[in-house]
Structure 1
Amino acid sequence: SALDRSLEKFAKKLPIFEPGRGEEGDENGEVIEKPLKINLDLALYKAKILTRNFQFDDAENILQQCIYYWPEDGRPYVALGKVLRKQSRITEARAVYEKGSQATQGENPYIWQCWAVLESDLGNTRKARELFDAATVADKKHIAAWHGWAVLELKQGNIKKARNLLGKGIKYCGGNEYVYQTLALLEAKANRYEQASYLFRQATRCNPKSCASWLAWAQLEMQQENNQAACYLFEKAVQASPKNRFAWHVWGLFEANLGNIDKARKILKIGHLVNPRDPVLLQSLALLEYRHSTANASRILFKRASELDPRHQPVWIAWGWMEWKEGNISTARELYQKALSINSTTESAARCLQAWGVLEQKVGNLSAARRLFRSSLNINSQSYVTWMTWASLEEDQGNSVRAEEIRNLYFQQRTEVVDDASWVNGFLDIIDPALDSIKRLLNLEQDPFGKTPDSSEVKDTDEGSSPSSEVKDARYKSGFDLDSFIKEKFSLDPNKLDDQMETSLLSIAKSKEQRTAFRPRQRYK
């Protein structure tokens, strides 16, 4: 916002540590100069801005000075730990958290909680439990600790323990959007739709600006094909967070799947104009144009998306899929190879290898197809689609025995999930309450308007209860005007979105040309 920008400029001009404004005795009894406490707030704000701009060294220097002047304050330790984690300096981050917990005499729950998350992400479950416990002892009203600990226990299969922790979180902290959101997603996975709707409603009442809650609730209604309710909830999501790229993206995919192509195209274009540096929105728009316009229009969008982020694998994979469908086999191979050259160990790489395997199967290169399927499964051995596609290949070749062996291999190696009967009555599984989790739920990085090329799909057809009357009634009372909304919030002219898109795409192309022109020349011996 304009206020944030002005504050940022103001913070840059101010001296961070103004000496001589306060005095304090050191451990030797000597008087030392110490800045006033307001300098700490300014320093933390500037460090936040520097971190956001990836100026990690400058941020680290400021935070180290904060710790020197105010060792009893926990905020610099938390901020410095995050800066170090962003750089994958795990050992140093752990040392900062340990130093901070000692300096604050173990009374700062934020340091314990951040340290617990670090250990949890590293797989050090026992240590993470101890740290979450220390956070709740330091402050039993620290909701992030209760929630993070519950998520950890759920991932470990300790269902009763997790339920108890979530209950304590509500007991000590009252209503909280993250706890309600987590419980709602769990209820939805257990097919308890009325309970899930109630919990989502509670989450949005706790924080009407929680875009993640509105989106997750909309996804619940989508699963039950309650399209009017879902549309209303998407409107609430973009109103809650107008610039949120996930909100515009998922809403656009929703409308496209309903067959509302013009509306989907409009929503995705708005999403891109609001988030001009996001390649995923352009990727989905490219797929939409391919299915409902021309391949050339799609190519332009794929090219611009790849220029925005050349290391975003799904763009190259989707582009390769389109070229394959157009019969440009060699081009498709090159694009798949480009995706794999970025990183050959990710989930996206597994999907790329599977899609490439299907391509080679269709053109008759069966040995290559088998190698690609095997490579894909080496990355993700849990992929039902890849196993069954490979089995189908063998069956088509008359190798029915081999096909049955492959199916048996899938069932033998898949991860077994044992349900706790007491949990089925309340919760079933854990999905983190974050936008990235909603992204995973909806598989936004895959082809959003159709199946993975020539692959099998398993679709859940659970019967759900009808949406609550509250959502239905609210939908008819919505009165949401998208055109007026984007005019007011973004100064976008709804009648000139195509012109604005063209200007944006030209800007991306020029930026790419400038980066290429100023690239240092390599020196050859």
Structure 2
Amino acid sequence: MSASASARAVRRSFAPKLHCWRPSHHRLRRTTCQNNTTDAVQRTASLLGRDTTNSAATNTGNMPLQINQDLMLYRARGLRTTWMKSKNKTSVKAMKVFNACMEQYQEALACDPTDARAYVGLGQLLMRAGRLDDARLVYEEGNLSCGGDNAYLWQALAVLEERSGRYREARECFDAATVADKTHAAAWHGWGMLEQRQGNIKRARDLFFRGVRTIEEQVQQQRNDAEGGNSKNGTAAAAAANDDDDGDDETGNGDEEENHKTDTKHVDYLYQSLAVMAIRAERFDEAREWFSRGTDTTYSQTGPKNSAMWEGWARMERDLGNYARARELYQLGLRASPRSRYLWLGWALLERKVKNFERSRTLFARGVAVSSDSVLLQAWGCLEAEDMHDIPRARELFERAIEANPKSLSSWQAYGRMEWRSGNVECARDLFQRGIWANPDAKGSCHIFQAWGVLERYEGNISLARELFKCAIRIDPRSKQTWDAWWKLEEDQGNYLRAQELRSLCSQSQVAEDSTTLDFSPSVLVDGDSSSTAIGGFIKRWMQSVEL
């Protein structure tokens, strides 16, 4: 079965689920969908509260120049970025930018209703605004207008469904994306990460493997075709000179092949995910091989510039005690991405680990000079407070970190711990409270509750400490630090039975699929699916049935 036939079969299977997929539309194609694009634009405009009665959407025969469409989308992306960077996205100024961005995307859809980029951009804008249902309708209308063969639209819809908690629908959309374009690395990676977050480690590994193998095979085939084409250039040129009648057909086929050329710029995320899984399984040689392939231009266009790839590799070597190799990798990564905050951070932490504090301080300063980020400032503040014992300097750095990112929970926690250890208990309590208020819905607030609970324990407020530990566990039931702090508190109070119960609950919360027996070697790119029992909902059900 061809890819197009498979895509049609997938779309027909969605008919009961997506309201826009009807049996009468399953034969739509980009070149034959102009009878329906006007209706799709009108429905999208109605959804957004826009009037397109007199717009270019009613005249799909007059398509704009490609450069004009690109410019409209470029301006729309710029407005979307400006709105996303606004601290208060509901302010009058921010809403003006938001509305201008909506109008720009609507104008792009009016000019070319079959441009999937406009639907994806508009859907992402609505998702950022929390309008998930509206974004879902935009993606579905985009699939209808574009014929259902655009992998980017399916992948964007899959991400939306996952964020909405509709995991079955998300898997179906990821599957449709890989059918529409089997070399779409983002779809393979997104699907694998979904399975990994659901606890299906074997399934995630298989998806990463299938994505890598499919893309590598396609790239190798294109290289072989290119080498064969170069060897026949003289013969092809002579045939083209003597046969003008077939020239148009050959040009069209050539354009189609160029449009379907494999794009390897995102495949490095697949290599990185496989390397991280190998590290967790303590298969470090296999992880090195995946990192090496991910940073090689032979396999990936953007891998050598992927700072996360270099940082992950260097951190693995650092944790294994290979400090010289780790320094070399940090240097290579910074040559490719000199503004990467994580590379500067990782290198500085390496020097701090080996007690080279002055070198660590220098690296922090250089990193902050090129990227004044709260992560770097917070880690630098911890260095000054804990190793250099320069409390005023640390306090200044923590203030700068919070100013750079008021929702940085790690900065609030580190700042509060420093003040507590310096004897400023009331100031520490105030910082913990402000940190929780700054981002109460974040999972990271568990660490603030845990640190606050430890403070109250040593200050003698046992009942309050228990309540704070309970809040931390409700936010993150897998926080081992919180469990350990809680059962130690109960032991100190002589509640040995309760402490044993908490240790048992901690062990249950840490249950995860054993990945140490899985093979992550690049030489084993197996086909087929692996199944495992998902445990993602276990802790949630336990929290609902057990009273702490």
User: Normalising to structure 1: TM-score of the pair?
Assistant: 0.71
Residue of structure 2 equivalent to 1:241: 337
1:252-283: CA deviations, max 9, x gaps?
A: 1221112111111111111111123x222211
Mean Cα deviation higher: 95-104 or 356-365: 356-365
1:300 to 385, 391, 396: 396
Please give the alpha-carbon distance, in whole angstroms, between the structure 2 residues aligned to 1:26 and 1:275.
44
Letter of the aligned partner of 2:124 in structure 1?
K
Q: 1:152-163 residue pairs with structure 2 within 5 A? A: 152-163=194-205
Letter of the aligned partner of 2:128 in structure 1?
K
2:420 to 316, 321, 324: 324
Q: Is structure 2 residue 130 aligned with structure 1 residue 93?
A: no
Q: Is structure 2 residue 406 aligned with structure 1 residue 377?
A: no
Q: Could you say what secondary structure the match of 2:399 adopts?
A: helix
Letter of the aligned partner of 1:95 in structure 2?
L
Residue of structure 1 equivalent to 2:322: 226
Q: 1:463-482 residue pairs with structure 2 within 5 A? A: none
Contact kept? 2:188, 2:207, Cα under 8 Å: yes
1:194-223: CA deviations, max 9, x gaps?
A: 111011000000321111111111111122
How big is the shift at 1:132? 1.5
Contact kept? 2:192, 2:204, Cα under 8 Å: yes
Q: 1:428-439 residue pairs with structure 2 within 5 A? A: none
Please give the alpha-carbon distance, in whole angstroms, between the structure 2 residues aligned to 1:382 and 1:365.
25
Residue of structure 2 equivalent to 1:390: 486
How big is the shift at 1:314? 2.2
1:217 to 310, 313, 323: 313
Q: Could you say what secondary structure the match of 1:208 adopts?
A: helix
Please give the alpha-carbon distance, in whole angstroms, between the structure 2 residues aligned to 1:352 and 1:65.
46
Letter of the aligned partner of 1:120 in structure 2?
E
Runs of at least 5 residues in structure 1 that lack an aligned partner in the other structure: 1-23, 428-525
Residue of structure 2 equivalent to 1:507: none
Q: Is structure 2 residue 309 aligned with structure 1 residue 280?
A: no
Q: Could you say what secondary structure the match of 2:444 adopts?
A: helix
Distance 1:336 1:35, change over 3 A: same
How big is the shift at 1:323? 0.8
Contact kept? 1:25, 1:32, Cα under 8 Å: no
Residue of structure 2 equivalent to 1:267: 363
How big is the shift at 1:31? 9.1
Distance 1:329 1:43, change over 3 A: same
1:117 to 149, 154, 159: 159
1:340-387: CA deviations, max 9, x gaps?
A: 222334333211111111111212222222222222222222222212
Q: Is structure 2 residue 306 aligned with structure 1 residue 203?
A: no
Distance 1:160 1:397, change over 3 A: closer
2:106 to 61, 64, 72: 64
Q: Could you say what secondary structure the match of 1:327 adopts?
A: coil
Distance 1:156 1:334, change over 3 A: closer
Residue of structure 2 equivalent to 1:42: 71
Residue of structure 2 equivalent to 1:184: 275
Residue of structure 2 equivalent to 1:84: 126
Please give the alpha-carbon distance, in whole angstroms, between the structure 2 residues aligned to 1:159 and 1:338.
37
How big is the shift at 1:149? 2.1
Distance 1:26 1:100, change over 3 A: closer
Contact kept? 1:357, 1:368, Cα under 8 Å: yes
Please give the alpha-carbon distance, in whole angstroms, between the structure 1 residues aligned to 2:325 and 2:390.
33
User: Normalising to structure 2: TM-score of the pair?
Assistant: 0.69
Letter of the aligned partner of 1:197 in structure 2?
R
Letter of the aligned partner of 1:201 in structure 2?
S
Letter of the aligned partner of 1:166 in structure 2?
F
Residue of structure 2 equivalent to 1:469: none
Q: Could you say what secondary structure the match of 1:140 adopts?
A: coil
Residue of structure 2 equivalent to 1:424: 518
Contact kept? 2:201, 2:513, Cα under 8 Å: no
How big is the shift at 1:305? 2.3
How big is the shift at 1:161? 4.2
Identity of paired residues, percent?
Answer: 40
Residue of structure 1 equivalent to 2:189: 147
Distance 1:344 1:164, change over 3 A: closer
1:64-90: CA deviations, max 9, x gaps?
A: 111111011211111111111121211
Q: Could you say what secondary structure the match of 1:350 adopts?
A: helix
Runs of at least 5 residues in structure 2 that lack an aligned partner in the other structure: 1-54, 84-96, 217-263, 522-548
Letter of the aligned partner of 2:321 in structure 1?
E
1:96-150: CA deviations, max 9, x gaps?
A: 1101111011121111111112112222121112212221222222222222223
Q: Is structure 2 residue 177 aligned with structure 1 residue 135?
A: yes
Count of paired positions = 399
How big is the shift at 1:226? 0.8
